[in-house]
Amino acid sequence: MPLRVQLIAKTDFIAPPDIDWSTDADGGPALVEFAGRACYQSWSKPNPRTATNESYLRHVIEVGHLSVLEHASATFYITGISRSCTHELIRHRHFSYSQLSQRFVPEDDSNVVLPPAVEDDPELVALVRKATDASRAAYVELLEKLESTLADVPNAVLRRKQARQAARSVLPNATETRIVVTGNYRAWRHFIAMRASEHADVEIRRLAIACLRQLADLAPSIFGDFDIATLADGTEVAISPLVYEG
């Protein structure tokens, strides 16, 4: 099941008509610049070295005035991601999440996300498939027996929910899930710095790189300092000299 990351929402910016100021950007980057200039009322752009949006935001990031990055946000719909990966993802508490519910959505025909370490080895793939198939078979059997056991519960929706919430305990971490993630620019920079590192698990690293590519297109003045490189094993990492938060 391939990873898919779709940008589904982004910040818009409406300049106040009573402020005599303009910029060469729009959307989130324009909002971040506006927020920064609002702190000092520097609408006239007195410093020529920070007169453009790109140069202004570069300076903001260099000096660590990162709170202004929190005004702009981006939202992704992520599919083809494993439950084990989202267990790591949701530890980033500055994001907002809405994830597929295993209590309401049946998982009897759910997809499996192979761990990157086994993808290129047919024998290991077969072992993973065998294990996940067995888990799914146990899930289906449990679900049937639980629905029979709970037959006296008059509310059909509640009955199915109670059965699924118990049966899901045997589903593997490799089960595919789907999740909507919203984060401000500062949170996204932190996520990328932490998870696009060679020290991160490969699956979440792939996610971080996929998000970075779209964020760099959306707001190059905010995310363009990250460089993507390929390691000897073929996996990718992203590094920035301007990351100060760990």
Type and span of the H or E element at 9: strand 4-10
Is 144 a known ligand-binding residue?
A: no
What pLDDT sits at residue 231?
A: 97
Q: What is the pLDDT of residue 21?
A: 97
pLDDT, one tens digit per residue, over 91-128 is 999 999 999 999 999 888 899 999 999 999 999 999 99
pLDDT at residue number 108: 84
Q: Binning pLDDT at 50, 70 and 90, where does residue 58 land?
A: very high
Kindly name the residue from 195, 205, 206, 213 that is annotated as catalytic.
Answer: 195
Question: What pLDDT does residue 1 have?
Answer: 81
With beta carbons less than 8 A apart as the criterion, state whether 136 and 107 touch: yes
- Quick one: average pLDDT of 222-245? 95
Compute CA distances 43 → 22, 33, 55, 179, 199, whole Å. 8, 10, 15, 40, 42
According to the model, what pLDDT value does residue 241 have? 95
Measure the CA–CA gap between 43 and 11, rounded to whole angstroms: 21
Residue 178 is among the residues annotated as catalytic for this protein: no
| 185 in a known ligand binding site | yes
CA proximity to 31, closest of 63, 3, 6, 56 = 56
Residue closest to 144 by CA, chosen among 164, 124, 126, 125 = 164
Amino acid at 14: I
- Once rounded to an integer, what is the mean pLDDT over residues 133-159? 92
β-strand partners of 184: 73
Residue 213: which residues within 8 A CB-CB, separation 6 or more?
228
| More confident of the two residues 80 and 106 | 80
Could you identify the residue written with the tokens 């984060």? Answer: 183
Cα(58)–Cα(48) distance, rounded to whole angstroms?
Answer: 14
What is residue 246's predicted lDDT score, i.e. its pLDDT? 59
* Joined tokens for residue 89: 């993802």
Rounded mean pLDDT of 64-90? 98
pLDDT in tens, 28-55: 999 999 999 999 999 999 999 999 999 9
pLDDT of residue 134: 97
Do the annotations mark residue 96 as ligand-binding? Answer: no
d(CA 149, CA 97): 33
Task: Consult the annotation and say whether 4 binds a ligand.
Answer: no
Helix %, strand %, coil % of the chain (to 5): 50, 15, 35
